[in-house]
Structure 1
């Protein structure tokens, strides 16, 4: 008897149970490979004790107290930017120290003390290292572009990037808690942290006011949450006062790199200006820590809707099991996986770029193998500012007026009616 009976066929209760049990065994076998390795992919929750020890070591090195660790201003003032201090935090050979110093002459780097505590529990060359510690590979990339999305050509007003009909970006700062090695806007980092002056923000607001089709505004940078609470309150209030602006979005990675920024006072500001959708960027399960989860909880209590925009990075998360563990871990802290971005061809970041085939394979191992909530959309940002293009495994194999031929997540073909009413 076929395991997949045709609709309408009649079976006894015993036959139905037998088919159900056989199907359950088949499904269990399909996830066996993940079950065998998932415990070898640690989250930040799994390494709480080690991270706590690393935090104490960093506080000793910086001659600081625990209460200072909870202050985001302290983290910003004590970002690790020197090779000597970095070498006291993680083991670096003299050659590696020279490499960090050499890269630093061309590409700025900084690591928050909080993220350094994760770095200390990672393996050399591991996912946290690759995202935070400068590598000589950054100097060997000759094929990348400083501005692959042509933001300079999608800039109709000061501080504005516009690539779509009904939404736009306000770029409010070049400042971040950490300068990630895969950053898409490293051209903007510069030698000095600068928030955009009020006149630039006002010009962006004026542009929005006279373009009534703009219903969705993303505030980003740099990191939007490094603006002061007062400035954020003013900017969000100005957007609230524009009748055609329906939603505000915030782009930030401080939940991952400096969760101490998510203070009660910040949450009180955000709570005043609904609806706010906040997208962050967790790239590896090790970044999902109790401190990050607590920051997410504070934001959720303030009515903020949370999503994650991971970047597909070679050596960090270009593995179906790692990406699955990441997305499942995010759902546990109430962050919805939203996008997986294919890494952009940014100058100095070519060593992170995977093949598109790897991204599609990851999507093949998510759809059907885990909750739909844990399946983000795989996106390639079209060069030249032409916008996000979703990339999917091929599920529709053929189509005519009467039927479509579909492939299921298990690679089974089905012939389905294409009815018109």
Structure 2
């Protein structure tokens, strides 16, 4: 029976002391992580806390969100802006690298802060929220850029906006004749599923094609609350895509990736991108070599439905774009092609046309 003591509402953990009190870091780690929090934001939401096994020192959920002193070590190949947002920012809140699409970053706050985030030096709880005037200037840029066919809301996390503000952005973009697609990238459905309210789902209503790209890296992130949130979005007509990052200690095995992609599909989410780690400062402990990533994916071809197959990509520095990394199953041999069978592992000759 209840003991009569007040029940504390779960809260987002935002500092080393609260992480220690929750049993997610050892007490002796507090001092070092307090210094870390002065550089990189910390946030572990209640939904994420519920997924962590504190008894497992290698827990793949904890590894994504619990800070580590290694983050203060920056290697020579790591960059503060690995995707080169800054040189391609025509107005505040907009990044335009590709001819037919552009990013809109209405805020820089997230429900959680991933320890491998490529924008980790700029995101944080202060929010980086565009003012009303700045947001309108960003939207005016989209309205005056007829070559842009797709608007991609990112940040930060666009689903941290209020339903009112989110509805305004969606409606403004939807009214632009040249915008065919609106895409949002978000951690919210798995990290803060309680935010996917009927009001928020309604705010996404549009006659344009609208897709939500859900960021998740481990099958356990698709717990019951996340699946319910995704059902609500799917019921509102939102197309669901999935993006993941290949991460050491999280999903760097055929079994972990297979479970992740199957969990996505079961939640009506089509795997879209598997990202090679962006080399942001202090993220080296997460990196999986490209050849290892290609090998892991190769083992999944043929044992997973094609619906579960994402494009494995590297976002090249300098704004050169996302390059597919394979794996490849075909090699040229003269005018013919030798193609490896995913099921039998044998090389099959595909003769040149007319041969």
Aligned to 1:199: 133
Contact residue 100 and residue 133 of structure 1 kept, 8 A: no
Aligned to 1:131: 64
Gaps of 5+ in 1: 1-55, 70-77
Deviation at 1:191, TM superposition (A): 6.0
Deviation at 1:281, TM superposition (A): 0.9
2:97 equivalent to 1:163 = yes
Aligned to 2:262: 328
Contact residue 90 and residue 120 of structure 1 kept, 8 A: no
Aligned to 2:33: 100
Q: Which has the larger radius of gyration?
A: 1
**How many Å separate the matches in 2 of 1:122 and 1:319?**
22
Deviations 1:266-294 (A, max 9, x none): 11121245421000111011111011000
Secondary structure of 2:50's counterpart equals: helix
Secondary structure of 1:168's counterpart equals: strand
Aligned to 2:195: 261
Deviations 1:17-57 (A, max 9, x none): xxxxxxxxxxxxxxxxxxxxxxxxxxxxxxxxxxxxxxx9x
Aligned to 1:117: 50
Deviation at 1:130, TM superposition (A): 1.0
What is the root-mean-square deviation in Å for CA atoms of aligned residues? Answer: 2.0
**How many Å separate the matches in 2 of 1:121 and 1:93?**
10
Match of 1:87 among 17, 20, 41: 20
Gaps of 5+ in 2: none
**How many Å separate the matches in 2 of 1:267 and 1:382?**
34
Deviation at 1:244, TM superposition (A): 0.6
**How many Å separate the matches in 2 of 1:158 and 1:84?**
35
Match of 1:301 among 235, 257, 260: 235
**How many Å separate the matches in 2 of 1:80 and 1:93?**
15
Deviations 1:328-359 (A, max 9, x none): 11111111111100001101212111100121
Deviation at 1:408, TM superposition (A): 2.0
Distance 1:109 1:91, change over 3 A: closer
2:132 equivalent to 1:229 = no
> What is the correspondence of 1:240-251 to structure 2 with a 5 Å cutoff?
240-251=174-185
Distance 1:355 1:87, change over 3 A: same
Q: TM-score, normalised by structure 1?
A: 0.79
Secondary structure of 1:338's counterpart equals: strand
Aligned to 2:280: 346
Deviations 1:161-187 (A, max 9, x none): 111110110011111001111111112
Higher helix share: 1
After TM superposition, what 4+ stretches of structure 1 lie above 6 angstroms from structure 2?
Answer: none
2:252 equivalent to 1:252 = no
